Amino acid sequence: MSVLIGVYGAAGCGRCIMPIVRTQYPASSYVFVDDMPGLNDVNGHEVIGWHSFLTYPVQNKCISIAVASPAIRKNLADKCDLAEIQLVEVRATSVVQWDNVSIGRGACLSPFVTLTSNISIGQCFHANLYSYVEHDCKVGDFVTLAPGAKLNGNVSVGDFSFVGSGAVIHQGISIGESAIVGMGSVVIDDVPSGVTVAGNPARIISKG
């Protein structure tokens, strides 16, 4: 039975996810879904709009949302739900996952991601290259870990938060909802909801 998998987002994130999709789902067909005008082909794959994806002449369709922004990812997930389009998990073969890890639907797990043990992760999680989540962490919905982001043990991350490349979150820290942790930051204190922190040690640089 033919299956069409759409990678929603033809920018950098989507172009990195598409090769994983092809490896993980080898019997499927693939397109990029993107609402930006003027794109027709990216890396040998057709780029189509949302309406064209919905009317594509294949009965079985699903989507991987490959957009770094947590808020945009939420909007696209809602659109897929309304159209009854299933979200698929995309997982590189080099991902390490150990005991008692639960992950919600629609995750994108890039190469060399590590998820150790006793971890709870919400829906549409993005874990980029070489990022890791250590034991007993609780990660909300629509959270993004940029390349090399590190969540050490017992870290809590609220919905819609973004942890920048190379950031290190100390054990036991709480990151509030919709917070942004800047690239290379070292977080040793709890981060309130809706703020941006950066530096070593990380300090609040903007609110809301």
Catalytic residues: 135
203: Cα separation from own chain's centroid: 25
Question: What is the spatial distance between Cα 27 and Cα 46, in angstroms, rounded to a whole number?
Answer: 17
Taking a C-beta distance cutoff of 8 angstroms, is the pair 145, 127 a contact?
yes
| CB 153 within 8 Å of CB 173 | no
Q: Where are the beta strands (DSSP E) in 88-187?
A: 90-91, 96-97, 101-103, 108-109, 114-115, 119-121, 126-127, 132-133, 138-139, 144-145, 150-151, 156-157, 162-163, 168-169, 174-175, 180-181, 186-187
Transcribe 17-74 into DSSP letters. HHHHHHHH-TTSEEEEE--STT--EETTEEEE-HHHHHHSS-SEEEEEE--S-HHHHH
* Element containing residue 3 per DSSP (H, E): strand 3-8
Residues in the chain: 208
